[in-house]
Amino acid sequence: MTTFQRIVLASRPRGAVRLDNFRLEQVEVPQVGDGQVLVRNEYLSLDPYMRGRMSEAKSYAAAQALDETMLGGTAGVVVASRHPRFAVGESVVGMLGWAEMGVAHGDTLRKVDASGVALSAYLGLLGMPGMTAWYGLNKIMRPIKGETVLVSAASGAVGSAVGQLAKLQGCRVVGIAGGPEKCAYVVGQLGFGACIDYKAGNLAADLAAAVPDGIDALFENVGGAGFDAALPLMNAFGRIALCGLIAGYNGDDLAVRNMRFMLTSRLSVRGFIVTEHLDLWPQGLGELGALVAAGKLTYRETVAPGLAAAPEAFIGLLQGRNFGKQLVKLT
């Protein structure tokens, strides 16, 4: 191959993301320099954080540059290497973006074993989403056996992992998800004690009925109405891991109406970015891998076919149309 396709950010969204914010391009395969590796990507990860990076607003990381390859996690196979630790044919995970191929320094890639676990899993439960769940639960929420844990976006890649891990630690887990199909999966397949359908129109009352003993720890992915409904139900000295605020990614107002409960219930609220804790990744990924191998953790994927499908799939992710981890299959 002498050329490959990539998708660049053509314009910054104003409000909701649109298809014309992206552009599909054909580019030449780059040369491989000393210490670099050329990878043919097989899977592309789509994640909510990408919406924040599309904006120029101040954030924890630099904004996505216009007319450059859209950022994103990838899993693929080495096709050329000038790095001593990587050989042609090996499977790797990196951040090569929305592209069929890419070059990266070997030090930025992670070699993975795709013989026993599907390669796609390393972009989900055995990758950044799984580590996000592991860190938020174990380092911020720190649940105790018998406590009640609430998880928003419970059927998603991160939320589904949080709930399963909390259940394994002996907690009662309640989820919030959109629609009866997702709630049935959360309870029937993932083993949550209950799941609240926020689309049913009775979120606050349904949530209160599901947590008669209150909420001890909350993993928050969404913000908005669900967060507002949860705060009055938090028990004293409850812990909140603030992972994402997808309800406000298009610029919607996320003012917290029930903020007073942070004071009266003496809550601990901590936002976190999991890539700032890379020293813990070997431990977390090791534990997650062992649980997957033992059949104690499960996951679900939504896979879009081909690079050109990535923009529509990303818009669907932001609208909650995906089920579990959203991926694009590139080969």
In this prediction, residues 305-320 reach a mean pLDDT of: 96
pLDDT at 254: 67
pLDDT at position 249 over 80: no
pLDDT at position 60 over 90: no
pLDDT at 212: 97
Q: How confident is the model at residue 251 (pLDDT cuts 50, 70, 90)?
A: low
pLDDT at 236: 98
pLDDT at position 216 over 80: yes
129 with 204: CB under 8 angstroms?
A: no
pLDDT at 257: 76
Kindly list the domain boundaries of the chain, sorted by start residue: 3-124+300-329, 128-275
More confident residue, 248 or 54: 54
> Mean pLDDT over all residues of the chain?
95
Q: How confident is the model at residue 140 (pLDDT cuts 50, 70, 90)?
A: very high
pLDDT at position 252 over 70: no
pLDDT at 253: 65
Which secondary-structure segment (H or E) carries 179? Answer: none
Select the CATH number that applies to the domain covering 128-275 from these four: 3.30.530.80, 3.40.50.720, 1.20.1440.230, 3.30.360.10. 3.40.50.720
Where b means 16+ CB within 10 Å and e means fewer, 191-217 reads: ebbbbbbbeeeebeebbeebbeebbbb
pLDDT at position 285 over 90: yes
- CATH class of this structure's domain 3-124+300-329: alpha beta
Place of tokens 């630690």: 169
pLDDT at 259: 85
Q: How confident is the model at residue 180 (pLDDT cuts 50, 70, 90)?
A: very high
- For 121, how many CA atoms within 13 A lie in the half-sphere containing its CB? 18
* Tokens linked to 275: 């890539």
